[in-house]
Amino acid sequence: MENTTPEATVEKIKEQIAENPILLYMKGSPKLPSCGFSAQASQALMSCGEQFAFVDILQNPDIRAELPKYANWPTFPQLWVEGELVGGCDIIIEMFQQNELQPLVKEAAEKHKSAE
The domain ranges of the chain are 6-115
Q: Which residues contact 70 (CB under 8 A, 6 or more apart)?
A: 10, 13, 14
Per-residue pLDDT, 2: 57
What top-level class would CATH report for the domain 6-115? alpha beta
Per-residue pLDDT, 114: 81
Pairing mode of beta strands 84-87, 53-56: unpaired
Residue 35 marked in a binding site: yes
Per-residue pLDDT, 3: 65
Residue 111 marked in a binding site: no
CB 26 within 8 A of CB 41: yes
CB 104 within 8 A of CB 95: yes
How confident is the model over 18-75, as pLDDT tens digits?
A: 999 999 999 999 999 999 999 999 999 999 999 999 999 999 999 999 999 999 999 9
Per-residue pLDDT, 115: 74
Rounded to the nearest 5°, which phi and psi values hold at 89? Answer: -55, -50
Per-residue pLDDT, 112: 86
Residue 89 marked in a binding site: yes
CA 96, chain centre distance (Å): 15
Whether the bond into 77 is cis, omega within 30 of 0? yes
Spatial distance between the Cα atoms of 50 and 47, rounded to a whole number of angstroms: 8
- What pTM, to 2 d.p., does this model score? 0.94
How confident is the model over 86-101, as pLDDT tens digits?
A: 999 999 999 999 999 9
Per-residue pLDDT, 4: 80
Residue 96 marked in a binding site: no
Helix axes 101-115, 89-97, angle to 10 degrees: 100
Residue 48 marked in a binding site: no
pLDDT more than 90, % of the chain? 92
